[in-house]
């Protein structure tokens, strides 16, 4: 016999009815006693998502973080681009730069902006974006945070193409041998990826064998380059100015020659973002999630060859951009490739153009951007590594 005022046994077992904040009249088995009960079970009837104003401050900040990061990066890149057009042997005010770009009033300022600084800035924007995105792809392919676009011998292949253009074909202009540099990078990238893939399948060594084969090909091509230069002193004198990495003297022909390869490579990289997210988890896990691992790796390797070949051929083998920028983008927005690639498109050009501007200011006669990039990139990388170590500990 149920105790007066208690719930029937079926109500005690199943719990309160599915309702929310509605007064429910439940009677006992005898029908003598009734009571009103507010039903607010979070398990049976989950609460709706709180409104934006009810969310905690940390959640609102986390949702706004990507917008803030993109806005700051875009603003910084715009200011650096303007400074690249204004700073040089003859400094120009922003109003003079605008007048030269739009109205072409002052003939001297117009010639400086259109013939010298605008092509130089365009090469810096394209090369910085290409090296940064290639670094993201290479670190994902090898699953190595210290990998950069020089693995697979892509940069060495571009250098060999430039050396052959200077030594064998007698080319003297960057606009001429940039095509040979791109071709050399593509050939080296395809051969390096094929050899690495075959070695990985035969030995089962995974990404370690993948990276070691690429490093071996890079060393072999570098030996060929030095052998050619050792027998041709005149070619070496011309090559060494290109090898330090610089944006000086780049004209519109260089920017036009590298633009199709870089824009195509950047588009392919953005398309591959979802597959690259799967590769971060390992080949077996990615295949289990439905990703085509072989196709993604091959397309990513070809994209690295396109981006690195075009950037290195036009600006020289500039280091640290492809190594530092992926870490900086990952620290800012996480390891998802779509935002990481988009942010690298902004951080890479900003770093390269910033280094070029500093080189124009601090040293009379200009310091090459490659040297300044190394001076800026090394402390940035050390700071990121120290921060990551503090977070993990």
Tell whether 21 and 122 lie within a shared domain.
no
What per-residue confidence (pLDDT) applies to 40?
40
Q: Which domain holds residue 292?
A: 117-353+360-392
In a domain, 385, yes or no: yes
Q: Tokens 């290109």, residue?
A: 242
Whether residue 262 sits in one domain with residue 140: yes
**Which pLDDT score, from 0 to 100, does residue 8 have?**
53
Instruction: Tell which of 42, 57, 75 closes a domain.
Output: 42
Predicted confidence at residue 48, as pLDDT, reads: 52
133 lies in some domain: yes
Residue 276 forms part of a structural domain = yes
Q: Is residue 86 a contact partner of residue 92, using CB atoms and an 8 Å limit? A: yes
**Would residue 166 count as lying in a domain?**
yes
Q: How many CB atoms lie within 10 A of CB 224?
A: 14
Spatial separation of the C-alpha atoms in residues 119 and 356, rounded to whole Å: 13
* The pair of three-digit structure tokens given for residue 382, joined into one six-digit string: 């050390």
What is the pTM for the complete model shown? 0.79
Collapsing DSSP states into helix, strand and coil, what is residue 281?
coil
CA distances from 35 to 66, 90, 178, 191, 299 (A): 51, 88, 86, 81, 68
CB 357 within 8 A of CB 89: no
Question: Does residue 164 belong to any structural domain of this protein?
Answer: yes
Q: Is residue 88 part of a domain?
A: no
Distance CA 265, CA 312 (A): 14
Instruction: Pull the structure tokens for residue 85.
Output: 């057009």
Cα–Cα separations (whole angstroms), residue 255 to 135, 259, 311: 21, 6, 10
What CA–CA distance (Å, rounded) separates 124 from 356?
A: 8
- Nearest CA-CA partner of 244 in 70, 366, 388, 328: 366
Give the pairing of strands 34-37 and 24-27: antiparallel
Can you give the pLDDT at residue 30?
43
Q: Are residues 299 and 196 in the same domain?
A: yes
Residue 76 belongs to a domain: no
Could you report the average pLDDT of every consecutive run of 10 residues in the chain (393 residues)?
50 49 45 39 46 56 82 96 91 90 86 92 95 93 80 84 86 80 87 80 68 81 88 82 86 88 92 89 80 87 90 88 91 90 95 94 85 85 71 52
């Amino acid at each position: 016999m149920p105790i007066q005022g208690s719930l029937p046994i079926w109500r005690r077992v199943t719990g309160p009815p599915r309702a929310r904040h509605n007064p429910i009249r439940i009677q006992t088995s005898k029908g003598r006693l009734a009571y009103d009960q507010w039903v607010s079970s979070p398990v049976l009837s989950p609460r709706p998502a709180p409104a934006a104003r009810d969310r905690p401050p940390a959640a609102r900040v986390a949702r706004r973080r990507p917008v803030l990061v993109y806005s700051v990066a875009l603003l910084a890149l715009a200011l650096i681009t303007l400074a690249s057009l204004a700073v040089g042997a003859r400094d120009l005010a922003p109003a003079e730069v605008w007048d030269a770009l739009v109205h072409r009033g002052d003939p001297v300022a117009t010639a400086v902006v259109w013939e010298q600084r605008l092509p130089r800035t365009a090469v810096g924007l394209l090369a910085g974006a290409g090296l940064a995105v290639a670094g993201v792809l290479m670190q994902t392919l090898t699953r190595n945070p210290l990998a950069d676009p020089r693995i697979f011998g892509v940069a060495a292949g571009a250098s060999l193409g430039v050396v052959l253009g200077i030594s064998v074909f007698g080319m003297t202009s960057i606009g001429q041998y940039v095509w040979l540099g791109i071709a050399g990078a593509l050939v080296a990238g395809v051969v390096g990826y094929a050899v690495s893939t075959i070695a990985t399948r035969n030995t089962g060594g995974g990404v370690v064998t993948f990276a070691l084969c690429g490093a071996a090909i890079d060393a072999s091509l570098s030996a060929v380059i030095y052998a050619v230069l050792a027998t041709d002193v005149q070619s070496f004198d011309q090559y060494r100015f290109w090898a330090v990495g610089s944006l000086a003297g780049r004209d519109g022909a260089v920017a036009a020659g590298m633009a199709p390869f870089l824009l195509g490579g950047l588009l392919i990289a953005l398309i591959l973002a979802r597959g690259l997210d799967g590769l971060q988890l390992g080949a077996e896990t990615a295949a289990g999630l439905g990703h085509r691992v072989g196709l993604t790796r091959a397309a990513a390797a070809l994209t690295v060859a396109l981006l690195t070949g075009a950037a290195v051929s036009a600006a020289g083998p500039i280091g640290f951009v492809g190594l530092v920028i992926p870490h900086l983008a990952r620290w800012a927005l996480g390891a998802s490739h779509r935002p990481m690639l988009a942010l690298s498109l902004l951080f890479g050009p900003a770093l390269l153009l910033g280094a070029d501007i500093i080189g124009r200011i601090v040293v009379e006669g200009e310091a090459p951007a490659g040297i300044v990039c190394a001076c800026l990139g090394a402390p940035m990388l050390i700071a990121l590594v120290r921060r990551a170590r503090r977070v993990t500990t």
